[in-house]
Amino acid sequence: MHILECRDLRKEYYSGENVIAAVDGITAAFEKGSFTAITGPSGSGKSTFLHLLSGLEHANGGEVYYNEKPLGGYNDNQLSVLRRRRFGFVFQAYNLVQELTGYENILLPVMLDRRKIDEAYFQKLVGMLEIEDRLHHLPSALSGGQQQRIAIARALANKPSILFADEPTGNLDGRSGREVMSLLRLVNRELGVTLVLVTHDQGVADQSQRIIRIEDGKITADSKPVTPGGDDQ
Ligand SMILES: Nc1ncnc2c1ncn2[C@@H]1O[C@H](COP(=O)(O)OP(=O)(O)O)[C@@H](O)[C@H]1O
Ligand SMILES: [Mg+2]
């Protein structure tokens, strides 16, 4: 089964008299547990596409399906619960809460969901991401790579089924970027989390199982196309 699909997805922005078709009719499907990179030049619509797929923004046309259920069928409250419990997000700028320690940042989504910590899962996460000795520092005392690893742990804290990452290595030096990429691959493999990652960096995209290229809001290449609605797996 496809965990995520979209059909004829569209998003337009209006600036003055101009209409920008940021996402211009995208149809795609993602297999459970897969790792897909979405690549393309700056301004091609990658981030907008990710925001639509993850329910952060509403489409002007078309539909996104999570486990075959249209996101349009969720009300705002249901959509935020879905995003909080089933989706994780990693951003280029880490977006950690500066006043909270690494530990508190990671547990924030669990607390917002009024749930208890799964101690064994927490230990597994921080072990995988090699941040055991960074948990009691504030973000300002951590390197970029360490902050991003805390942010990845936070994104995984609620055991999501899909992890969305937008240019997760964009602010990192080459070495830290490679470390973060190998940890994301580990997380995809070990936890079975479906990974959808946006990058304009070909070296990063090459580490995925599938590369979708976007130009001017349209898919122009797909290294391993998956037919929406099909059972081709
Ligand atoms: N909130 C917005 N308002 C107006 N235009 C936007 C907005 N977000 C994105 N755009 C425009 O949509 C296009 C795609 O942007 P984006 O999805 O951020 O591309 P990418 O992530 O590939 O760099 C660009 O032309 C951008 O200027
Ligand atoms: Mg972008």
Q: Whose CA is nearest to atom 11 of ligand 1?
A: 22
The predicted pLDDT at position 42 comes to: 95
Q: Whose CA is nearest to atom 16 of ligand 1?
A: 45
| Total domains present in the chain | 1
The predicted pLDDT at position 117 comes to: 87
Q: Whose CA is nearest to atom 26 of ligand 1?
A: 43
Task: Map the chain to HEC letters.
Answer: CEEEEEEEEEEEEEECCEEEEEEEEEEEEEECCCEEEEECCCCCCHHHHHHHHCCCCCCCEEEEEECCEEHHHCCHHHHHHHHHHHEEEECCCCCCCCCCCHHHHHHHHHHHCCCCCCHHHHHHHHHHCCCHHHCCCCHHHCCHHHHHHHHHHHHHCCCCCEEEEECCCCCCCHHHHHHHHHHHHHHHHHHCCEEEEECCCHHHHCCCCEEEEEECCEEEEECCCCCCCCCCC
- Residue 231 within a domain: no
Per the structure, the complete domain to which residue 212 belongs is given by 2-222
The predicted pLDDT at position 233 comes to: 44
The predicted pLDDT at position 231 comes to: 55
- Residue 214 within a domain: yes
How confident is the chain (233 residues) per 10-residue block, as mean pLDDT?
95 94 98 97 97 96 97 95 96 97 96 91 96 97 97 97 97 96 96 97 94 98 88 50
The predicted pLDDT at position 229 comes to: 81
- Residue 232 within a domain: no
- Residue 233 within a domain: no
- Residue 182 within a domain: yes
Indicate which atom in ligand 1 lies nearest the CA of residue 11.
12
The predicted pLDDT at position 228 comes to: 87
- Residue 84 within a domain: yes
The CATH number of whichever domain residue 115 belongs to comes to: 3.40.50.300
- Residue 228 within a domain: no
Q: Which ligand is nearest to the CA of 18?
A: 1
- Residue 227 within a domain: no
